[in-house]
Structure formats: structure tokens, C-alpha cells
Amino acid sequence: MAETLTIPLRPEEKAAPPMHVCVTGATGYVAGHIVARLLAAGHTVHATVRDPSNIKSVAHITALPGADERLKLFKADLMKDGTFDAAMAGCAAVLHTASPYALDCPAGKEEEMLIGPALKGTENVLASVNRTPGVTRVLVTSSVVGVWGDPNERGKGHVFTEEDWNKVAHPKKYPYFYSKMIAEKRAYELAEAAGGKWSLVTLNPGVVWGPPIGKRLDGESVTQMVDLLSGALWPWAPALGTAVVDVRDVALAHCLALVKPSAKGRYLLANQERGWFLLPDAARILKQSGAHKGAWLPPLLPDYYGLMAFGPMMGCPVPITKATYKKRPLVSTAKAARDLGINEWIPMQRSVLDMASDLKAKGMVPAFKLPVAWPVLAAGAALLLWALRALAGAVLGL
């Protein structure tokens, strides 16, 4: 069944003349919503994917309204020179959304898994832009981690804006943060070197939540919500501070930045000025709604030292805990309001509840998943049993 837009097209989107737009990483969580808006606005989308013949991986975008007439699939690889040339031929704009994600990267694999692909991918895409005469507009999807890593890195109370760059990003300690930051900086270097041939806009969303297009489970945000509902995160949810934004607002921001000639530079995207403790706040919202009874929502907040000790087995590296534990960032989206006209954002409550309901309706949430912390829980239970037996022995003289 084809999915329709839940945020109607803005007048600027409707008024823009139809164009051919290349979207990289088009099967991704954010990109799917962007493709849906572009098709709804009458544009022709050249979608780059890893394997166009993999029907299952592309089904959610090929089923979108308008896809039969105006969606074209192209095979491309971030690490291979020239593979984006064919997709960009005839296009007036490029939206580069493809980038590797791995918050918990194995030591020694930082360059291979994150930094190299992010940097090389950006360079390859923009090299193809330089070889394509008709492209005059480029949008790159970056992240708030290009703006900050530690919410307090510029002092408590600092309100982050587009003028800020991550001060703590490091290829070993924070490789994902570093990969996003250097890829974004490299994009601006290449745009300047192009001498005005094309204009560049980068968008820096917070953690992106909200209902996905289709039923793909490979998006990090989708996986987190499934784990939250099915027990994989039980019994605790770490209080790590971050900015949050709905995927539908992220797609809207991209499409407005595409058609508004005055849009330029960076844009922070977040649903409110004060950040969230993502998983605990999401669990609280789900519980208070009463709509998801029976879900294995984590009731506990691990303390700092417990998270430092056991967080890595849950995909939460020690440096991330140090940087974000119980720190809510302050974010200004004044520039997005001024230039893009986004004055209201989908609230966290709606993002969480819409996402949970959507995933359940699509049959994407199993009744139960073994908690990733089960070794800790098992060890704790064994230790408690041993202590009780020892106590009983001491009391009874056994």
C-alpha cells in the first residue's frame, strides 16, 4: 500500500517548477520521506541505491505515489569514483543523504567503517556534481554531532547555533561525530573550490524519530523503537541528552531548502530548544499514553557508573556516556524559522506515539526480544542467589 504525506506540501513546494533531483542513499530512513515529498511535488527523482535489482530493499520507495512515472533507480557506491555520474545526468539538484552510521565502532575500525566512507563518499558525490553541467544546487544531510559532541563543551547554558562546530570530535574517541563533522567541512571546501558553479546547503538534524516509509528495519531509530517496545532494552534506558526531530520535519526542511533560493549554509533541525533524554523520555511518553499496554518498557535509569560499566554491551560506548550523560543541549532553530519558514515542529510526543503505532500496525514489533543486557541480569541473579544462600547458611548455621 502506498504511503501518503502526513505533512501537506507547503505553497513554496507546490509553486516550484518540476525538476530532476538526484537523491543519494534513497532507501534510507530520512531519504524515503524526502523522496515521497519530491514525488508529491511533481519532481522526477533519480534515486541512488546499492542494488536496484533488490526488490525488497527498494519496494518502499517504488510503491510511493508518482514513483511509476517519475522515480528512476541508479546503482552507486560511495567508495567508487564516478558511480554517481549517471544518476546526476540531467539533474538540476542533488540531495546527498547517504552516509555510514555506527555509534559504537570497534577500535581500529574507525577509518574503515566511518571516517573513510563519510569523507570519500562526500568527495565522490561532489566530484560527480562538478562533472554535471546542469547541477546548481546541492544539499548535504549532516547532523547535530557536527555542531556539538558534549552539550557542555562550550559551557553550561550555551545555546548552540549554526556558527558552532563540534569541539570534542576525535577520530578515536568519537569517530562518528568526527566523520560527520569532517565530511561537512569538506563539502564546504569543495563548494568554495567550485567557484559558485553550485550552491551548498547542509542540514544538521538531531536524533531523527517518527514513522518510517515502508517496513525496513535497518534504520537506527527504527531499531531503537522496536527494541524499546519489545524488551530488548529492558530494564533500563540510559539518560543521554540529545536534540530530537521528527523525520517528517527533516524531509520538509530539505525540500524547502531545495526550492528557496535564499537558503544557504547550515540549518539546525530540532523540535524544541531544550534537548531530551531520548529513551527514558520516549518510554515515559509511551507509558503515559496508555496505548501500548504490554510493551516491555524499561522502568529504570542506570546511574553513571553502572552505565560506564555495562553500557558498551548495550551499544553505548564509554566516551558517549561521558559526553552526554544527563546533559540536555540547548539549540536554536531561529535560522530555520527565518529562512525556511519552519516555525512549528512536530512535538516529541507525537513523534514517539506515531512511530510506535506505525511500527505495530506494520507488524514490525515482536512480542518479546531477549534483553541485550541479559548477561548482566543473569550474573546479577546468580550473585543474588549466592548471597541469599550464604545468608541463609549463616543464619541457620548450615
- Catalytic residue numbers read 180
Rounded to an integer, what is the distance from CA 387 to the centroid of its chain?
44
C-alpha cell at 196: 559558485
Instruction: From 141, 276, 138, 124, select the one nearest 199 (Cα to Cα).
Output: 138
Q: Which residues pair with 73 in a beta bridge?
A: 47
b/e map of 16-48 (b: 16 or more CB within 10 Å)? Answer: beebbbbbbbbbbbbbbbbbbbbbbbebbbbbb
CA distance readout (Å), 150 to 145, 164, 165, 172, 200: 9, 12, 11, 15, 27
Q: Which residues contact 77 (CB under 8 A, 6 or more apart)?
A: 50, 83
How many angstroms separate the CA atoms of 94 and 158, rounded? 34
b/e map of 249-261 (b: 16 or more CB within 10 Å)? Answer: bbbbbbbbbbbbe
How many angstroms separate the CA atoms of 141 and 184, rounded? 9
How many angstroms separate the CA atoms of 105 and 320, rounded? 12
User: CB-hemisphere CA count at 13 Å for 299?
Assistant: 2
